[in-house]
A and B are shown apart, each in its own frame.
Chain A
Amino acid sequence: MKKWLKILIIIAVIGIIAIIGVLKYINKPNKDIEKAKAEYTLNADVLYKEYTLNKAKADSLYNGKVIEITGNVSKIETPSDTMVVAVFTQKQDTSQIKTDDLLGDLNAEGGLRCTMLPNHSEAAKKLTPEIPVKIKGLCNGMAGTDLIIEKCSIVK
């Protein structure tokens, strides 16, 4: 085979590999949170306290990370047929919450809000405050007085 042809073939192969690599990187699907390994395992009350005491520090540690939360759920909300939220209610400092505006109303009750993956919804509906649970999910940070955890699954 002629030398220039060999070089051309090598360049073409490298080019195809590079294009596949770039396309794979661009079209990378979202992380499978259920299968991902948790970076931290914390008690719900402890995690919430960390966020309320030093939000910036907690954000840098946990935001965007897969975490496992242990504790007892306070209630289960079912806003739609396909959506189930496990809530670990946390006591609020009422002196810090304005009661004269609607944002105050929104944030008068707060805590960890864990939106369950659809395949864990039915199991989540059976959770009760009496039984301790471990839930894994993606920590998305604070919205007012709520710590938002998404794509949650029941570990045990």
Chain B
Amino acid sequence: MKTLFKIIIVLLMLSSNVFAQKYITKNGKIDFYSDAPMEKIEAKNNQVKAALDAATGDIVFQVLITSFEFPKALMQEHFNENYMESPKFPNSTFKGKIINLKDINFTKNGKYNATIEGDLTIHGVTKKVKQSGTIEVKDGKVITYCKFNILVKDYGINIPNAVAGKIAETVQITVDVALDPKK
């Protein structure tokens, strides 16, 4: 009876680790890069919130726009006030799913190719996106990495002609978010 009890406990523990594990972070990194003819602009955000459910493949990101840090104060001011209108749209989110979940073994260290599909909301505009990236499983941590481009006009962000040479129409987004197992 005792042995059976032990087996059940072990099985329960295993199943909770393998099948019901969620991963979470509040300190993920997202950078963006705009390469326009007259100026290159880079901004970093180290406060990205993200969660991943290894059982279902559901994944969410929540990004506070005012947390993007620019090398120059004026760039940051224009980004928040003129383009992203961060007082009106303070957060950007992504809610989606890993569609090739079966290819990823969350219990074994390694780098896996992942395709993610879902809704990306920037500046109050939601678009369906599908992107490829990698998921690295490293000693219990899950590191999501993805690089993709977005067209700023797709998200209703208007760039006046006067500054068109300084801000690119396409902005590169780099997601580098390490998630820890949720306790």
A interface with B by C-beta (< 8 Å) = 25-31, 59, 63-64, 77, 79-80, 83, 85, 101-103, 105-106, 113, 115, 140-144, 146, 148, 150
Contacts and interface: CB of A to CB of B under 8 A. Distances in A.
Given A115-B47, A143-B47, A106 B60 contact: yes
A28 B73 contact: yes
Contacts of B137: none
The 9 closest A-B pairs by CB, nearest first: A79-B27, A143-B64, A102-B51, A140-B66, A102-B60, A28-B73, A106-B51, A30-B73, A105-B51
A143 B50 contact: no
Given A103-B60, A106-B49, A150-B47, A63 B27 contact: no
B62 A63 contact: no
Contacts of A150: 47, 67, 69
A3 B46 CA distance: 59
16 contacts: A26-B72, A27-B74, A28-B72, A28-B73, A31-B73, A79-B27, A83-B46, A102-B58, A102-B59, A106-B62, A142-B90, A143-B67, A143-B90, A143-B91, A148-B64, A148-B66
Contacts of A25: 74
Interface stretch (B18-26, B101-109, B128-136, B154-162): B18-26
Contacts of B182: 105
Q: Size class of B's contact patch?
A: 20 to 34
Contact of B64 (A28, A30, A140): A140
Nearest to A79: B27
Interface string B74-94: 101000000000010011010
A118 B58 CA distance: 34
Interface string B153-177: 0000000000000000000000000
B74 A102 contact: no
Contacts of A30: 69-73, 76
Contacts of A103: 51, 60, 62, 93, 95
